[in-house]
Structure 1
């Protein structure tokens, strides 16, 4: 029976004390023998941690005692071992780098669609208003190669900072449709949805909680393959269990050569 609890979570919220918060987060996580990555930035927090259940629970209780994180939404998965090699708590300019300062999710979230509603839309081929749906994968190309929603747009991004240029090149693909952007855990697709709205794309939603939440709540209906994650599990199936080796060109040896957030624009196992 799996004994290790893996959590992924993020929240866009103004943090003007990241430097002071960092050692406190490190002390608490290390004290509970957790491994993984926590990113702190002026725009919020992004974390992927693994450990024994009581340690995870104690850390979340401590973190949520800060009113800014009281409603932190956490995604859970389980494994037989810890998929991270060490604990990192880092301060970044953005928790997901986009290089567009005007995109400030902490000032107001993008419209979202929850997992069960999206599953219903995909099954019928349209949203509740009868408009056709287009799924837009905002992840890096090698992540998409592990698995994605059937028929999703894939703009072959090498890094998330390329998304604005890709939108300009492929904007016609979105016309006349309800656009649902998605990523592993929600951060990239939320920023992407805000950017698209700013650029005048209508009827744009983000998938609330990303692929991992979709797997958790729907069993992965309409998703083909597995979800690439930035830890030693490499890929997760729709049951949120490790799914085996990644396609050629990916893998833990490649990803773990650099901190996970540097490999694709954010740390994970998700977000």
Structure 2
């Protein structure tokens, strides 16, 4: 008996568990975890939220069992599935450090898992998650797929709730069952995929799985929240880990299970190599080198022989236009990430002038964002106001300016005006009209096609900032965010002194893109764009994911407090 205990003292292990429950005093729980884990010399990640905990910790097996014993006595953790596995101690410092397995990290967070990239959206009701199936029940459903004829209209579909790099080394495969792999970079991209492919789920029996179960809890609740046709949602309780414990030879799971600790992946006793090297396509499934895509930073598989190259481009970036031979615009490293924001100037402006106008804003946000400025595609004619000068006896018209000026551009143009690319000055036929923007409604298709090219060549971008007519363009793009997926990907828009162009259909169906609206108040001295026009545009966006800043600074983007503080707060939610 003593010899067995000594063996346990020497053995190392990893413990995973989560629990959705209301935490009455999160600060007390924080102090408890800090005291308990440190006293037992445990390392790893502990995440605490008002609605539960998510824990991945490692240490001596005996210490982990003692931790489980203590937690099991707490009523908050009644019914918790503690998944404990023996393994070797972390030996690769690089892998252990990246996975958070060199120290103990305890943090209080808003959400245990981030389902949506929109930090302002309300998460689904977790109490409405899918029905739990044990590993044996899950296996039985797959085994009997296609045999039952009681309800042939309800097809069984298998949905993988994990990221692409996880599914590339292991996944479930069963005869007569359609497997849906969303091929997402990160979990927060899943709702967008579910919205776009809801026709593949509606009316079917949906069988979900992930690593340990927590991602399925939130994702299944999101699917069921869609209403009629999405009621039959089931999830593998305990995830792939519990399934592989029940079926050591793999069962219907092929390959290896990617895990978020120093083990990197766990295979069955009969684990085939499903993955392939990104460079040479040779069978390979080891992520220990921690090589990432030079553009999006997603993990990629690169075999030992192909390592050492300067540039790696994941299959998603290649799919959306990134060339393996080209150099990325900006390679982000850990700790230096900034939000890349595409900036759309106003009517009769250009990238250079807008960069100058926003220099103060860029300087004050330099630690948060990188602004990328572009010219709009519609080139405008040089015009000047031909007013006569002098007294009545000697009145004469003003001559065109002598100086050379940079070209001016637009996102929308007057449908009754021909596009003139001449470099000659032309006298305006009518006096300046402060409401001219209301007539500029044509040219969207050309501008949209142009933006697709810009994003393909210079992306990815986290957000789009538009000023005046640029804001009108950004709003139109935001309205089509779902249909533009893969061509123009972004997470939010910032609309400054904006107005609406051809968005009448969204008056009853709000635009659900996260948005920050900045415009002059009713007495804000914006003589270019009416207060009501900007406020009307803001009203087209879902109020649950929009922030409004009204200021008194005129036709500009304010850079002083409290306006700047609100801008920073909005941006920091996406970092």
The TM-score range, normalised by the shorter chain, is 0.7 to 0.9
Task: Name 2:206's counterpart in structure 1.
Answer: 179
Hey, what's the Cα distance between the residues in 2 that align with 1:252 and 1:35? Answer: 22
1:235 matches 2:256: no
Task: Name 1:267's counterpart in structure 2.
Answer: none
Hey, what's the Cα distance between the residues in 2 that align with 1:165 and 1:47? Answer: 27
Q: How many residues align?
A: 257
Q: 1:121 aligns with which of 129, 135, 141?
A: 141
Deviation at 1:247, TM superposition (A): 5.9
Q: TM-score, normalised by structure 1?
A: 0.84
Deviation at 1:49, TM superposition (A): 1.4
Does the aligned pair in 2 maintain the 1:43–1:104 contact within 8 Å?
A: no
Deviation at 1:61, TM superposition (A): 1.9
The 3-state SS of whatever aligns with 1:11 is strand
With over 3 angstroms needed to count, the CA separation of the structure-2 counterparts of 1:168 and 1:11, relative to structure 1, is same
Deviation at 1:101, TM superposition (A): 2.7
Task: Name 2:167's counterpart in structure 1.
Answer: 144
Aligned residue runs from structure 1 range 160-199, under 5 A = 160-199=187-226
Does the aligned pair in 2 maintain the 1:14–1:44 contact within 8 Å?
A: yes
The 3-state SS of whatever aligns with 2:254 is strand
Task: Name 1:104's counterpart in structure 2.
Answer: 125
With over 3 angstroms needed to count, the CA separation of the structure-2 counterparts of 1:252 and 1:47, relative to structure 1, is farther
Hey, what's the Cα distance between the residues in 2 that align with 1:187 and 1:252? Answer: 27
The 3-state SS of whatever aligns with 2:211 is coil
1:215 matches 2:244: yes
Task: Name 2:28's counterpart in structure 1.
Answer: 20
With over 3 angstroms needed to count, the CA separation of the structure-2 counterparts of 1:235 and 1:102, relative to structure 1, is closer
Aligned residue runs from structure 1 range 3-152, under 5 A = 3-82=11-90, 84-99=101-116, 100-105=121-126, 107=127, 109-126=129-146, 131-150=154-173, 152=179
The 3-state SS of whatever aligns with 2:113 is coil
Hey, what's the Cα distance between the residues in 1 that align with 2:25 and 2:163? Answer: 31
Deviation at 1:63, TM superposition (A): 1.9
Deviation at 1:252, TM superposition (A): 5.9
Hey, what's the Cα distance between the residues in 2 that align with 1:111 and 1:204? Answer: 6
The 3-state SS of whatever aligns with 2:290 is helix
Hey, what's the Cα distance between the residues in 2 that align with 1:37 and 1:228? Answer: 17
Does the aligned pair in 1 maintain the 2:162–2:187 contact within 8 Å?
A: yes
Deviation at 1:20, TM superposition (A): 2.6
Deviation at 1:134, TM superposition (A): 1.1
Q: Which moved more, 1:81-90 or 1:206-215?
A: 81-90
Report the structure number with the largest CA radius of gyration: 2
Does the aligned pair in 1 maintain the 2:61–2:86 contact within 8 Å?
A: no
Q: TM-score, normalised by structure 2?
A: 0.41
With over 3 angstroms needed to count, the CA separation of the structure-2 counterparts of 1:193 and 1:258, relative to structure 1, is farther
Deviation at 1:183, TM superposition (A): 0.7
Task: Name 2:231's counterpart in structure 1.
Answer: 202
Write out per-residue CA displacement over residues 105-127 of structure 1, whole angstroms, 9 at most, x where no aligned residue: 2x454312221111112122248
Does the aligned pair in 1 maintain the 2:20–2:53 contact within 8 Å?
A: yes
Write out per-residue CA displacement over residues 114-168 of structure 1, whole angstroms, 9 at most, x where no aligned residue: 2111111212224875653211011111111111111521111112222221111
Deviation at 1:240, TM superposition (A): 11
Does the aligned pair in 2 maintain the 1:119–1:218 contact within 8 Å?
A: no
Tell me: higher relative CO, structure 1 or 2? Use CA pairs within 8 A at least 6 residues apart. Answer: 1
The answer for unaligned runs of 5 or more in structure 2 is: 1-6, 91-95, 279-286, 293-298, 300-332, 336-575
Aligned residue runs from structure 1 range 238-253, under 5 A = 238=268, 248=277, 250-251=287-288, 253=290
Hey, what's the Cα distance between the residues in 2 that align with 1:149 and 1:40? Answer: 31
Hey, what's the Cα distance between the residues in 2 that align with 1:90 and 1:189? Answer: 22
The 3-state SS of whatever aligns with 1:98 is coil
Hey, what's the Cα distance between the residues in 2 that align with 1:61 and 1:154? Answer: 38
Deviation at 1:64, TM superposition (A): 2.3
Does the aligned pair in 2 maintain the 1:232–1:252 contact within 8 Å?
A: no
Does the aligned pair in 1 maintain the 2:12–2:61 contact within 8 Å?
A: yes
Q: Which moved more, 1:7-16 or 1:175-184?
A: 175-184
Deviation at 1:65, TM superposition (A): 2.5
RMSD of Structure 2 on Structure 1 (CA): 3.0
The 3-state SS of whatever aligns with 1:211 is helix
Deviation at 1:224, TM superposition (A): 1.3
With over 3 angstroms needed to count, the CA separation of the structure-2 counterparts of 1:224 and 1:19, relative to structure 1, is same
